[in-house]
Structure 1
Amino acid sequence: MLPIEDQKYNKIVYKVEKNEEGMTLKSLLKKQWEVSSRLMSRLKKDKRVTINSKWAPYHQILQKNDLLVLNMEEESCDFTPINIPLNIIYEDFDVLVINKPPGMLTHPTAATREGTLANAVMNYMNNRGECYKIRFVNRLDMDTSGAMILAKNSFAHQQLAAQLQSKMVKKYLAFVLGRVDKSYQKVEAPIYRPETIPENEPPRRVVDSRGKMAVSHLEKVEVYSKASLIRIKIDTGRTHQIRVHAHHIGHPIIGDEFYEPDQPNRIKRQALHAERIIFDHPRTKEEIECNAELPDDLIELKRLLEKEI
């Protein structure tokens, strides 16, 4: 049983139940949370697992009502805190889900040290008196907006990263060129990063049999005179997957000049938004659904497309 009021981002508290009596501590950690061997080794090395306030070896036999505590390792982050407002969709002791605005990098780079999402999160956690390593579970391009998950500790990150590869539901909205005919289509096409790249150009992915298989499910939402709005669910997470697959089926994303440079100037970035993300909470196992509202530039684009003849 998880006493919710005792949970913290750096501490897991669990009361052993009757049906778990007689199990070893190691068996419970594997059964209850599928704690990885790597994390278990770190917790053991630093003696961060206690039962009834005493350090406990993994072979210890559990009794009903034993109070198990996992103290997460002390972590720090050295990003510069910048006072940038965050659009927070969901937050608790393990998870922070943010609606990332377009045009914002996730992490600082050599060229851009400030103004990133990590800088904003650093400022947010400092104001709350918290200190954790900034671990984003999913990835979004700088110009893609929408839901991003941050894990507040190594345990949550391990759990969510495993879900990302299998059961996590990720849905996107994209405004694309042309009128989409099919109400639904499944795109199974391998994505390849060419070995030869023109000098001073970023790598452009292509559909090619030498690449890794990628699967996208496309659903028609609205059709305009010269464009469409589609919803995309991805089973895999290849770099630029949605952008490449949309181009592959003849409906490149509006504003994506990297993959379709010859198009009207309707918006200053690719019209792609991470609309929804559904995952099992790493600690409680409850299903969490997070929905990110469309940003202003995509709302304005929608109005523009509805007026076009």
Structure 2
Amino acid sequence: MTLPNFTNANNMLSLLRSVAVLGILGIGMLIVVLGRGVDLSMVAMMTISVAWSLQLVNTGAGLGTALTYGLLFALVMSLVCGLLIAYAEIPPLFATLAMATFVYGFGRAYLITGTDVVYMSNDIGWIKFLGQGYFLGVPMPILVALMVAAVVWLFLKFTKPGRFIFAVGDNAAASRITGIPLRPTLVMQYVMSGGIAFIAGLITATSVAAMNTRIVNSNMIYDVILVVVLGGVGLSGGRGNVRNVIVGTLLIGVLMNGMTIMDIQFTVQNVIKSLILLLAIVADSILNPRDEQTGQQGDI
């Protein structure tokens, strides 16, 4: 906070805009972690589905058709992942890691060929307003992130499926006994995560007028996990809410913005963030000790 120009209004808006996508992905990760899972495929889903949509537009498809295909791809891949976890009982860590690799490989081989970066057409239409527009002086990525947070908060707090997620994460065996549809709830979590990842991808692509598929090989997914853990969401499931993700996103935003202003090298920034993630996981294991049932999940 003592850094020059740190509390400047423009810098604050720039900070929030820079972490808006991270916050949206964090909301998707929250839904999965609440149910004792983890989704390492989010960045791959986000990147390939939106890159394919952009490429479809560039080859003459209508914007609505392209977005529908991209969204359906993300939802179907997430559905398959959820089915593997819920019905084949593959641990989420391995299922989502394998799905991330499959989505990236399949997308590069059959959907997006010949390039790492898919550029957005200049005449793509209204969709670019999501990443480049302003409403009452506030960048649209920030407003979209807030809208996603509000919708998920309402879903978790006031709907029966939302409460089922907390119950499954708190005690899966008890949830099954009380009549909660355990497996469909698990599948629903991953489908929702995939849909939210697609929204995050739209913001990413429209902000810079392109989608770089090399993001999949970056450390972005670990930043998403850091947002969730640092915000105070319990990795053992059933503990946490949207407020925790917002706090975690703001903390990461302040950290990254401060390190950038201090001109800390990117590799050193990654070391610092990895140490913080490790300490946050250790703190979570102390504050939210695993019970026997959680220890058997093997998902985180």
TMscore range, shorter length: under 0.3
Task: Determine which structure has more spread, i.e. the larger CA radius of gyration.
Answer: 1
Higher helix share: 2
Higher strand share: 1
- Greater relative CO, 1 or 2 (CA 8 Å, sep 6+): 2
The TM-score with structure 2 as length reference comes to 0.23
The TM-score with structure 1 as length reference comes to 0.22
